[in-house]
Amino acid sequence: MQSGLRIGSIFGIPLQIHPSWLIVLGLLTFSNGLNWQADYPAWGATTAWGVGFVAAMLLFVSVLLHELGHSLTAMAQGIRVNSITLFIFGGVASIDRESKSPGRAFLVAIAGPAVSIVLSLSLFGLGLLLPTASPVAVLTTDIARINLILALFNLIPGLPLDGGQVLKAAVWKATGDRFKAVRWASRSGLILGWGAVLLGLAMVFLLNDSGGFWLSLLGWFGIQNAQSYSRVSTLQESLVKTTAQQTMTRQYRVLDGEMTVEAFIELYFQASAKDNTPYFCSTDGRYNGALDVSALQNLERSQWQVRKLREFATPLAEIPTVTEETQALEVIQRMESENLTYMTVLSPVGSVAGVIDRGDLVRSVGETLGLKFPSEEIQRVKEEAAFPQKFQLGVIALATELEPELETPA
């Protein structure tokens, strides 16, 4: 639900409205207007429709305040909020990454319903002070009721609802396993979603209540979202459990550091230039470092026979490296944020054990998920140095919190 019309921003968060929200606005104005004309004939039609429209707009404000509750709590934890979008089923705050601990995740989850409850109680209180059956009193009480529904509905314990996030935080706290927590909360979301679909259909076909369509649709939306939580979590788990050692290949070349630049250039152009094979050089069995081929491009031709490769090597201590135990998650995060085409894996004695590029990551993470990528596709990823559109490991990894407790001690 990322798409939507941007209508402004609040606390620096872009605020978007999905076209489906307009359906809600229209339906709500219509049903409020009809109900209030019948309930309060003294108002007259214009007032009833007008108050109906204002009530629909205030639902918008209520949902926005609910989402701001989540967003500001996340921001207080140093997490970026990309947008708040209002759509047919309410609002959604797109939060950059998850909280670092179950306690913090709980706070982000509960902040939305807490805002709605506080609003509801204040408005119910205010409604008692206003003259009965006046448009302002009816409006106030109606918005109070809507906020109460917003809070209670969202506390249903299944993803993607806030209650599902609370359940996730609780299971995470109890088991220490964030992935198990998401599995439980999304399974619960699936069960509740299917429950809503079936109940809705029963309402339609057994009771002739067309409101059941809405419930079924809501359930279906919940199922889709619960499944996507579960998919992302499974992927994150495999990124944490796959090690650099399982991912790395020996697709690199070690050259003699005493080789002249001229000899190297001949060799380099014999090997087809299409692959991004990393080069290292060593002298007498000791690594000089990684060879920076681009540094050779500016070298004057007269120097080619004189200069040695080792002069252009960057020591292994100065290039980005990981150990064999490093999680694939960290490898990807660093490759994405440092814009690397490959990562060097060092052995315990400090020599090159292997290299990892994006193609290797797609293959090995895919394997742990039971996905088989054709070798042509892996080769394309290697050449383009970009993750495939349908397997965006970079995006997922950057949104995943590193877990120090799962790292094997080096």
Least CB distance from residue 107 to Zn ion, whole Å? 13
- List the interface residues with Zn ion, window 94-113 (CB under 5 A): 112
Using CB atoms within 10 Å of the CB of residue 216, give its burial: 0 to 12 exposed, 13 to 18 middle, 19+ buried: buried
Q: Is 266 a known active-site residue?
A: no
User: Which of 142, 162, 237, 330 is close enough to bind Zn ion by CB under 5 A?
Assistant: 162
Residue 154 or 236: the one with the smaller Cβ distance to Zn ion is: 154
With b for 16 or more beta-carbon neighbours within 10 A and e for fewer, the 230-261 pattern comes to beebbbbbbbbebbbbebbbebbebbbbebbb
Cβ proximity to Zn ion, 162 vs 357, nearer residue: 162
* Helix or strand (DSSP H, E) at 72: helix 45-76
CB of 23 to Zn ion, least distance (A): 21
Q: How far apart are the first and last CA of the chain?
A: 42
Q: How many angstroms separate the CA atoms of 228 and 186, rounded?
A: 9
Segments of 293-375 assigned E as strands: 313-314, 321-323, 342-346, 352-357
**Nearest residue to the partner Zn ion, using Cβ:** 112
Q: Which stretch binds Zn ion (CB under 5 A): 114-122, 125-133, 140-148, 153-161?
A: 153-161
Closest CB 145 distance from Zn ion, rounded Å: 18
**Closest CB to Zn ion among 154 and 321?**
154
Q: Which of 120, 154, 326, 327 binds Zn ion (CB under 5 A)?
A: 154
What is the C-alpha to C-alpha distance for residues 354 and 247, in angstroms, rounded to an integer?
Answer: 9
- Least distance (Å) between residue 162 CB and Zn ion: 4
Distance CA 37, CA 34 (A): 5
- Looking at residues 218 to 257 of the shown chain, list those that interact with Zn ion (rule: CB under 5 A): none
324 binds Zn ion (CB under 5 A): no
Answer yes or no: are the C-beta atoms of 143 and 59 closer than 8 Å: yes
DSSP result, 82-116: EEEEEETTEEEEEESS--SSHHHHHHHHHHHHHHH
Cβ distance to Zn ion smaller for residue 103 or 348: 103
Q: At closest approach, how far in Å is the CB of 153 from Zn ion?
A: 9
Closer CB to Zn ion, 112 or 359, in the complex: 112
Residues with a known catalytic role: 67
The residue ranges that bind Zn ion (CB under 5 A) are 112, 154, 162
